[in-house]
Structure 1
C-alpha cells in the first residue's frame, strides 16, 4: 500500500473513474454503469454523504468507498427492513452509517486498500455503528467485513434488481483493527 494514499475525495467529480473501478471489480456492463452513475450522483447529495478514494502517486483512482447516515426512507432501507425486522435487527436502521459502495481495482486487491478505505470513512462517521450489504457468499469481501467486526444481521436478502441474494451486516464503530504481532513492523 506504500504507493496508494487514502483520503477524502469529491466523488461526484470522479464518478466516471470510480464507476470504471466498480465495473472491473464487480463485473458491470456498460448499461449497468450508466444506471449506477445517476444513483451515485443522487446519493452524494444526501445529507452527511462522504467519500474516500485510494489514489496512486499519479492521482489515479484505484479504489473508493462512499456512504451516508442511514435514512429509513431510502430505497435500500425499505428493501432490507423486513429482513432485518424478521431477524430482530430492525433497530440497526437507526443511527447507523451505511457503506453504500466499496470497490478496489483488481490489480490493487489483497493489499489492504479496502480495509483502509472502510476504516477511514467509518472513523469519520458520527454514528455509533455501521451497516452494509454484500453478496451472500463466502468471498474476500465478506472475510474483510468480518475481520472488521461486521456480523450478519440478515441473510438471503433479495434486491429487485439483483440476481444473487445479499447479506446485511452491521458493526459497532470504531471498526476493529488488526493487532500487530510482537516483533512485526
Structure 2
C-alpha cells in the first residue's frame, strides 16, 4: 500500500450521529462481529455521543472513512465504570489508588481501523488527536486478550504508554477475556 497519509479530523456530535451507521460498519468489520448487532450498536453509539466530554475522530482516505475513535469522560453512573469496579473487587480491590484513578478518566470507548488500512499508523494518529488537550488525569480502554499480546492493538497501546489495570476480565454479556489498560494524560510515547 506504500505511504498511507490519512486526514484525521474531529467530528462534531451531529456529524458523528449522522454517520454512525458507516462508523459502526467499520467497527463490525474490524472486530469481525456478526452484522446482526449493527442496529443495536448504532443506538448505543448515538447514546454515547450525549455523554459529557464526548470526543470523536475519524480517519479519511480520499474522502472515505477508514477509521473511527471516540470516547468520553468516565462517570460513576456509566455501565463501564460499574464493570471496572466489579473487576477490581474480583481482583481483591479496589485500592485507594485505583479508586482515585477511576475518579478522573477519559474512557476510550472505541478505536477501529478498516482491516485493509491497519498497520499504517492510522490508529496512532487517531489516538493522539482523540486525547490531545484532554483535561482528564488518565485514559482507560479495553481490548480483547490475545496470547502474548501478539496483535497490532496491544502493540499500539503499549507504545502509547498504556499499562495493565485489569487483565483477563469478562464484561457482562461477553464471554471473551479483556485487558483493561490505563495511561496518564497527556499521552506519551515509549
After TM superposition, is the score higher than 0.5?
A: yes
Q: How does 1:40-51 map to 2 (within 5 A)?
A: 40-51=45-56
Q: How does 1:95-174 map to 2 (within 5 A)?
A: 95-137=104-146, 138=149, 139-174=151-186
- Give the whole-Å Cα distance in 2 for the aligned partners of 1:39 and 1:84: 25
- Give the whole-Å Cα distance in 1 for the aligned partners of 2:102 and 2:140: 8
Q: What CA deviation, in whole Å up to 9, does each residue of 1:25-58 have, x standing for no partner?
A: 001112212211111000001111110000112x
The RMSD of aligned alpha carbons is 1.5
TM-score normalised according to structure 2 size: 0.87
The answer (yes or no) to whether the contact 1:51–1:65 under 8 Å persists in 2 is yes
- Give the whole-Å Cα distance in 2 for the aligned partners of 1:123 and 1:7: 12
- Gap regions ≥5 residues in structure 2: none
Tell me which residue corresponds to 1:67: 71
- Give the whole-Å Cα distance in 2 for the aligned partners of 1:84 and 1:150: 18
Pick one of 69, 83, 86 that aligns with 1:82: 86
**Which is helix-richer, 1 or 2?**
2
**132-141 vs 36-45, which deviates more?**
132-141
Tell me which residue corresponds to 1:92: 101
1:22 to 2:27 alignment: yes
The answer (yes or no) to whether the contact 1:54–1:62 under 8 Å persists in 2 is yes
The answer (yes or no) to whether the contact 2:85–2:94 under 8 Å persists in 1 is no
The answer (yes or no) to whether the contact 2:134–2:186 under 8 Å persists in 1 is no
Runs of 4+ more than 6 Å apart: none
Pick one of 4, 10, 15 that aligns with 1:8: 10
Q: What CA deviation, in whole Å up to 9, does each residue of 1:2-33 have, x standing for no partner?
A: 44100101221211111111111001112212
Q: What CA deviation, in whole Å up to 9, does each residue of 1:113-166 have, x standing for no partner?
A: 000101111113111211111112212211110110000011121112212111
Residues paired across the two proteins, number: 177
TM-score normalised according to structure 1 size: 0.90
